[in-house]
Amino acid sequence: MHENRSRRYGIMGGTFNPVHNGHLVTAEEARTQFDLDKVIFIPTGIPSHKVTDETPTPEDRYIMAVIATASNPDFIVSRIEVEKAKPTYTIDTLKELSEIYEGSEFYFITGADAVWEILNWKDPESLSKYCTFIGATRPGYSLEKFKESHLLPDEDRTDPKVPKVRIMEIPALAISSTDIRNRVGTGHTIRYLVPEGVLNYIYKSGFYEKN
Ligand code: NAP
């Protein structure tokens, strides 16, 4: 516990369909690099930006996140988005969290490709008031497009309305949810790509078998 600074929360936003070991490594790396007190996983409910299959349901994705993080006391899973019956937007989630955890600092952690789109999200100018973004990349990811858009922090970044973005390269993100769904659909193993409890939950529920 740090006595002389406000609490810092990592907000791990994603569909998590399913959550995998790359996500866990990302959250742990962000926790240590940015000196975060806790990382809160927030599985999306009905995402505003894409159509999703009926299964796994948001509740299933939430359960898999709980199973994956159960052994880590610094990881929490929130129902804030899965409980909403309508599409959710990150700005609304951040506003709610800033009321729940008043006086805290937030670091919104997600995939760099998602972060790259933030200028198209709802109310992008307000996002920068609530958090710093951490974009997690797979090795070899090109940052050129970020530099051109001035999303990366540098000495010339004077406009407070441009969201603050930090980039973190995570070799374990060679694992992807898409690949896991495809592997299950084609009968390939996913052992060691997801936590064992998540693997059991996927097989028991028959998720992704028809992909
Ligand atoms: P996505 O488009 O499914 O994922 C984009 C890339 O990022 C994928 O390669 C994905 O890999 C990776 N990724 C996603 N979450 C990650 C995480 N927490 N850590 C590391 N890599 C991650 O993105 P999404 O999951 O639907 O959305 C990401 C977040 O952005 C969500 O919290 C969503 O609500 C938010 N978002 C908000 C708005 C808005 O407010 N208008 C619009 C778009 C997205 P995997 O598939 O392996 O995870």
* Residue 68, both tokens: 């994956």
Q: Does ligand 1 come within 6 angstroms of the Cβ of 120?
A: no
In a domain, 194, yes or no: no
In a domain, 206, yes or no: no
How far is residue 107's CA from residue 55's CA, in Å, rounded to a whole number?
A: 29
Pocket test for ligand 1, best of 50, 84, 92, 110 (most atoms within 8 A of CB): 110
In a domain, 1, yes or no: no
In a domain, 180, yes or no: no
In a domain, 15, yes or no: yes
Indicate which residue's Cα is closest to atom 1 of ligand 1. Answer: 114
Q: Does ligand 1 come within 6 angstroms of the Cβ of 18?
A: no
Task: Give the chain's domain count.
Answer: 1
Q: Give me the CATH number covering residue 135.
A: 3.40.50.620
- 126, containing H or E segment: helix 124-130
DSSP 59: H
Which domain does 102 fall in, by range? Answer: 8-174
**Are 197 and 68 spatial neighbours (Cβ–Cβ below 8 Å)?**
yes
In a domain, 110, yes or no: yes
4 CA distance to ligand 1 middle (Å): 33
207: CB partners within 8 A, 6+ apart:
18, 55, 56, 60, 181, 184
What pTM value is reported for the model? 0.94
- pLDDT at residue number 75: 98
pLDDT in tens, the chain (211 residues): 576 789 999 999 999 999 999 999 999 999 999 999 999 999 999 866 666 667 899 999 999 999 999 999 999 999 999 999 888 899 999 999 999 999 999 999 999 999 988 888 999 889 989 999 999 998 888 888 887 777 877 655 567 777 889 999 999 999 999 999 999 999 999 999 999 999 999 999 999 997 5
In a domain, 196, yes or no: no
In a domain, 44, yes or no: yes
Q: Does ligand 1 come within 6 angstroms of the Cβ of 45?
A: no
- Compute and round to an integer the Cα radius of gyration of the chain: 17
Closest listed residue to residue 23, CA positions, set 195, 148, 184, 156: 195
